[in-house]
Chains A and B, each alone.
Chain A
Amino acid sequence: MADMHSEADLAFVRETMLAQKEPPIAEQGALKWLRENLFSSWLNAILTVLSLLLVYWVLAHTLPWLLRGVWDAGSLAECREIRDARYGDGVDAACFAVITDRWQQLLFGFYPRELYWRPILALLCFFAAIAPVLFARVPRQMLGFTVAAPFLIFLLLWGGTIWGPLTVALGFVIGWACIAFLTKPLGRLVATIAAVLLPIIFWLFLAGPLARELGNILPIGLEPVGSKDFGGFMLSFVIGVAGIILSLPLGILLALGRQSDLFLINKVSVGFIELIRGVPLIVWLFTASLLLNYFLPPGTNFDIMLRVIIMVTLFSAAYIAEVVRGGLAALPKGQYEAADALGLDYWQSMRLIILPQALKIAIPGIVSTFIGLFKDTTLVVFIGLLDPIGLSNSIRATTDWNGIYWELFLFIGIMFWIFCFSMSRYSMYLERKLTREHR
C-alpha cells in the first residue's frame, strides 16, 4: 500500500530543467523592433517605405552637392574652375568658399575690421551677465556684474566716451537713492514719485550737457562706431537681445493692466495689446521708419536702430502680455484670496505670490515669443538695415559671388536654428526644474 507510485510505474521523469528556448526570430532583436516600430500594419509599412524613399530622394539630391563642397576659392568663377578640375564639368558641387571668404561680414556687417574684438568681448560680457540669471548654480555675486553689463556692452558696441553710459547709469542710481533715503522721512508714495520723476528730469535736461562737459575734461573712451555699420548676426543679436530684455517687464505690466479693475488702465492696456497684435510687425517697422518723424517735434531725428528696438520691444511686449495673462488666468482664485487674507497690498501680492506662479506657467509661451522675436529681427532688411539676409543679398550683388544662393541660405539657416533651438531647449530645462508637482 505504501508505495503505489513507485518509480517503475512511471514511464518518464524529467530530472533536469530544459534550457530556455530562444524566442522566435521575428520576436527578438532588430527584427522585432522593425516589426513593431516600422511594419506593425499595412498602413505603417506604406508610411515607412514612403518616408524612406523621401529621405533617400532628399539625400541623393543634397549629399553629393554638400560633400563635394569647395571651401577655398576667391569667387564663384574660381569655385567652378576648381570644381570642374576636380569632379568634371558641370557636376553639382557646393561652393562654401563664399562662407570662408565672407563669414566676417555675415557675422559683423560693416563693423570696422580692426575693432572686431569689441563685439566679441561684448558677447562674452553678455554671457557672463546672463549666466547667473539663467542658471542657479552660478555664484550670486555675479548679479552685480549683470547690473553693470548693459552699460559696458553699449560702450563696447557703439564706442564714444565712457561718460554717456555713465551718466545714464547715474540716473538709475538717483532713482535708487530716492527709494532708499526718502522713504523714511517722506513716506513711500512721495519717494516712489520722486524715484520716477527725478531720473527722467535728469536724463532729459542734465545728462547730455554733463556727459559733454565731462567728455571735454576727461576724454576717455573708445572709437565711436555708427549704427549704420552694424550688420549680420551681430545686428540680429543686438536687436533681439535688447527686445527680449526690455519687452518682458513691459509685457508683464501690460498683462497686469489688462487684469486690472481700474477701468481706464484696463481699457488702455486692452487697446494697446489688440492694436499691436492686430497689425503685422512689418507694418510697424515701416511706421517706425516712415512715420515716426511726423509724430515727434520737428527736427528730431534719432537712430534707426533705436527705433527698430523700440518697435520690436512694443510688438513682443503685447504678445508676452497675452501669454502672461494666460498664466494669471490659470492660477486658482484661492491664491489671490490667500494673498489678500495675508494682508499683502497689490504690489506685494503680485511680487511674492501671484507673478512667480503665473510666470512659471507662462514660461513656454514667453520663450516661444522670444524665439519669434529673434526670428523676426530678419524683417529689418525691409527698412534698409543689413541683417544676415540683407547681407546675403549684398554679397550676391558683388561680381565675385553673383548667383550664389543655397550656401548662404544654409549658413544663415543653421545659425538661426542653433540659436532658436537652444532657446527652446533651455525653456524645457527650466520647466522641468521649476516643476513642483509630485510625480
Chain B
Amino acid sequence: MSTTTDAPAPDQGFRLNQLIYDTRYRSMTIQIVALIVLLTFFGWLINNTIENLEALGKDFDFGFLGQRAGYDINQVLIPYDSGSTHGRAALVGILNTLLVAVLGCILATVVGVLAGVLRLSKNWVVGRLMTVYVEAFRNIPLLLWIILIFALMTEATPQPRAFLVDESGNADASMLLWDSVAITNRGVFIPAPVGGAAAWFVVGVFLASIAAIFLWRRYAVKKLLDEGKVVPTLLPSILLFFVPTLVVFFLLGRPISLAYPELGGFNFNGGIQVRNSLVALWLALSLYTGAFIAEIVRGGILAISKGQTEAAYALGLRSGVTMRLVILPQALRVIIPPLISQYLNLTKNSSLAIAVGYMDVRSTLGGITINQTGKELEGMLLLGLFYLLISLLISGAMNIYNNRVKLKER
C-alpha cells in the first residue's frame, strides 16, 4: 500500500538554466557575477590611479613621514619643533585629537547625564530649561556652535593686559578660583603640576590604592555571595582613596606642587596655556554631544517599566538599593550602546577642529603635511586608517559589552 510521493526527479544532468532558476545554484551565480563586477570596478579605479600618478610624475610611498616638517604646532603634548619629522607632526596631531576626544567624552557624559535626569524632573522650570538646551543644541549644526563659542572666547574675554593692577589697586579683569585660572582672549591659563621623581611615587601609590578599592569591592561581593555576610564597602573605599596617597604625599615632603600662571608684562607666564581653539572645540563638542546623551539617558530611564520599581519595593528593597540593583542595570543596558556610539561621533566630529585652527590629526597629517609634500593619496589614506582604527576598536569593545549584558533568553 505504500506509495512514494517524493520520487527523485529524473536525472537529466546539469542544465545551464539551472544556474538561474535552481535555488541551489542561483546564489552562487549571483555572487560570482557580483564578484566579477566588483573586481572590474576596483581594477578600473586602481588602473586610473596608477595612470594619473604617472601622468603627474608622483610615486606612492610613505617616505615623506621621515622628512623634516618645517612647520610649527602651537598646542603640543609631546616635544615638537619645526625641525621634527612629518611622522612626529602626525603623532602630535593624533595625540591632540585623542586629547580633545577624551576631554569631550568626559564632559559630555557629565552634562548629558545631568541634563537627561533633570529633564525628567517634576520641577517645571528645570525641565523646560533642559528641553530648551537639548532642542537648541540638537537642531543647530555643530560647526555653528564651535565657531560661536570660539568667537565668544576670543571676542568677549579680556586681554591679558586687562589683568594688570594699576596704581589704585584696580584691574579690569581678575583671575578665577583663588587666582589660579585666567581666562583671556589668548587662551585659558591654568596651574601646572610640577614634581620630581618622588612625585611619580605618589602617583604610583594613588593608582595602587584605586586597584585596592576594586579588589576590596570584589572581596565584599564574594563574601556576600558565599557566606551571606555584608562587608562594608563605602567607608573603606573612601579611606583607601584618600589616606595612603595623602600619607605618602606628606611623608615625602609634598613632592608635587602647582606652578601658578603669573602676569609678566603683557602676557601670563608659568602654568599651562590652553589655547582658546582647544577650549572652544572642547566646550562645543561636549555641549553638542551632551544634548544627544541627555536624550539617550532620558530614553533609557523611561524604558524601564514602572512595574520593575514596584516589584522591587514589593520585595522589600529600599529605594537606593532598588535604583542600584534593579533599575540601573536594566537602564544601562539600553543606555550604553548608543552612548558609546555618541563617543565615537564626538571623536569623529573633533575633525571640525579645522574651523578654529586647533592642530588635530586632520590639520597636521591631513592638512599642512599634504600641502607641503603633495602626497594627497598617502596622507588621506593614513588619516582615514587612523579614524577607522579608532572606530573599529571602540565598536569591537562595544560588541563585547553587548554580548556580556545581553538578556539571556531561553
List the interface of chain A (C-beta within 8 A of B): 36-38, 40, 44, 47-48, 51-52, 54-55, 189, 261-265, 268, 274-275, 277-283, 286-287, 290-291, 293-298, 371, 375-376, 378-379, 381-382, 389, 405-406, 409, 412-413, 416-417, 420-421, 424
Report yes or no: A264 in contact with B126, Cβ–Cβ below 8 A. Answer: no
Main secondary structure of the interface of A (DSSP, over half): helix
- Pick the 7 closest A-B CB pairs, nearest first: A278-B391, A420-B139, A278-B388, A280-B348, A375-B141, A280-B351, A37-B124
With a 10 A CB-CB cut-off, give which of A52, A287, A294, A371 has the most chain B CB atoms. A294
Q: Nearest Cβ in chain B — how far from A146, in angstroms?
A: 27
B35 proximity list for chain A (CB < 8 A): 264
**Cα–Cα, bound, A382→B363 (Å):** 12
Q: Are B129 and A295 interface neighbours, CB within 8 A?
A: no
Q: Note all chain A residues with C-beta closer than 8 A to B31.
A: 262-265
Q: Is B262 an interface residue (CB 8 A)?
A: no
Chain B, interface size category, equals 35 or more
Q: Provide the B389-407 mask, 1 if CB < 8 A to any CB of A, else 0.
A: 0111001000000000000
B129→A54 contact, CB < 8 A: yes
Which residues of A lie under 8 Å from residue B349 when comparing CB positions? Answer: 280
Please tell me if B230 contacts chain A, counting CB pairs below 8 Å. no
Could you name 18 residue pairs across A and B whose Cβ atoms are closer than 8 Å? A44-B121, A51-B126, A189-B20, A262-B31, A265-B34, A279-B388, A282-B362, A283-B351, A295-B52, A298-B52, A371-B138, A371-B139, A378-B144, A382-B355, A416-B140, A420-B138, A421-B135, A424-B139
B370 closest partner in A (C-beta): A290
**Which parts of B195-209 form the interface with A (CB within 8 Å)?**
none
Shortest CB–CB separation between residue A145 and chain B, in angstroms? 30
Residue in A closest to B58 when the chains form the complex, CB atoms: A294
Are B384 and A282 closer than 8 Å at their CB atoms?
no
- Once the chains bind, are B125 and A48 in contact (CB under 8 Å)? yes
Residues 127-150 of chain B, each 1 if its beta carbon lies under 8 Å from chain A, else 0: 001000001101111111001100
B271 within 8 A of partner (CB): no
Partner of A282, one of B129, B354, B390: B354
Interface of B is mostly: helix
Quick check: is B164 within 8 A (CB to CB) of the other chain? no
Residues of B within 8 A of A (CB): 20, 27, 30-31, 34-35, 38, 45, 48-49, 51-53, 55, 118, 121-126, 129, 135-136, 138-144, 147-148, 151, 155, 348-349, 351-352, 354-355, 362, 366, 370, 376-377, 380, 383-384, 387-388, 390-392, 395
The listed residue (B55, B124, B142) touching A375 by CB distance below 8 A is B142
Note all chain B residues with C-beta closer than 8 A to A37.
Answer: 122-124
Asked if A47 meets B126 with Cβ closer than 8 Å, knowing A283-B383, A416-B141, the reply is: yes
A378 in complex: contacting residue of B27, B48, B141, CB < 8 Å = B141
Per the bound structure, the CA–CA distance linking A277 and B395 in Å amounts to: 11
Complex CA gap A283/B142 in Å reads: 16
Q: Is the CB of B125 within 8 A of A38?
A: yes
Report A26 CB to chain B, min CB distance, Å: 17
B136 contact set on A, CB distance < 8 A: 417
Most buried by B among A262, A281, A286: A286
In the complex, A275→B34 CA distance in Å? 19
Interchain nearest-CB distance for B28 vs A (Å): 9
Q: How far is the CA of A375 from the CA of B366 in the complex (A)?
A: 23
Known contacts A47-B126, A262-B30, A298-B51, A291 near B376 by CB under 8 Å: yes
- Residues of chain A within 8 A (CB-CB) of B143 are 378-379, 381, 389
The answer on a CB contact under 8 Å between B391 and A38 is: no
Q: Assuming A38-B123, A47-B118, A282-B354, is B387 touching A413 (CB within 8 A)?
A: no
